[in-house]
Amino acid sequence: MTTPAPHFYGLGAEFSSASSLMTAAEKVRDSGFRKWDVYSPFPIHGMDAAMGFSRSRVSFFSLIGGITGLTTAFILIYYTSALNYPLIVQGKPYFALEPSMPVFFELTVLLTAFGTIIGLLLLTLMPRLHHPVFNWDRFKRVSDDGFFIVLEAADPRFEKGASRRFLEELGGSHITEIFQDAEPQPHPARAEAQGHA
């Protein structure tokens, strides 16, 4: 059984501090790279601007969630209390805006929150269990004291030699080629079982 050659993911470089990571990110942004990312142990204020992020699109999902919530609340109240089972309580109208407002508000807020979370997960491609950068040993320090930039091979501007030199110019150290995972190997027990079959 032969393992297929692992797929090349990109080039990673390590930086010494948050500020050198920030300066490097600004230069990568200015060079026109699109598919790349920075990794740090903590959020760095101003990194979104240094990476050239535009406004997040999450608010669109929030709006959709909010509108859904308001509509749901209206239908829920109007259908149950004015159409399906009209009942006079305390001489109040079957349907009135006053008692509906809290429900409108709460459901709008609830589904806005859902919309926001779902939008966030969709836009960040989360949740995912694994990522090619985990195949790089030094990367383990990202949750401790490591600052990294990874340029992805999928970017049209990526070219192995030039990109390596670029990362060196930026002051990156330990520049490493990162590979996608190989095809999953069968579990040894299962492989043994298959061998017996």
Partner 1 sequence: MSASPGPLPAAEKLRIESLGIFPVLFPILGAVGLLSAFFLGYLTNPAQLAFSYLFAFAVGFTICSGALFWTLLHHALDADWSVLMRRILETVACCFPVLVLLALPLLFLFPKDLWYWMTKPIGYDVLLDWKRPFLNTPFFYMRCAFYLLFFCVAAFLYRRWSMQQDEDGDPRLTLRSRHVAYGFIPLFVLCFTFAGFDWLMALDFHWYSTMWGVYLFAGAAQSSMALLILITNGLAKTGHFRGLFNVEHNHIMGMLLFAFTVFWGYIAFSQYFLQWYANIPEETWYFVYRNTGTWAYFSIFLVVGHFFVPFLLLITQPAKRTPWRICTASGWVLLMHCVDLYWIIMPNLQLKKARAAGLPPATTGFEPSIIDLLALVGVVGVLAAAFLWLLARGSIFPSRDPRLRESLGVTNWS
Tell me which residues touch partner 1 (CB under 8 A).
Answer: 45-46, 48, 90-91, 98-99, 101-102
Would you say 41 or 102 has its CB closer to partner 1?
102
Would you say 86 or 102 has its CB closer to partner 1?
102
The per-type count for the chain, helices as H runs and strands as E runs, is 6, 4
Q: State in angstroms the smallest separation of the CB of 47 from partner 1.
A: 10
Q: State in angstroms the smallest separation of the CB of 1 from partner 1.
A: 52
- For 6, 186, 188, the CA distances from 196, given in Å and listed in that order, are 29, 14, 12
Helices (H), 3-127: 18-31, 47-50, 58-77, 97-123
Asked if omega into 127 is within 30° of 0 (cis), the reply is yes
Q: State in angstroms the smallest separation of the CB of 98 from partner 1.
A: 5
Would you say 37 or 48 has its CB closer to partner 1?
48
Would you say 101 or 154 has its CB closer to partner 1?
101
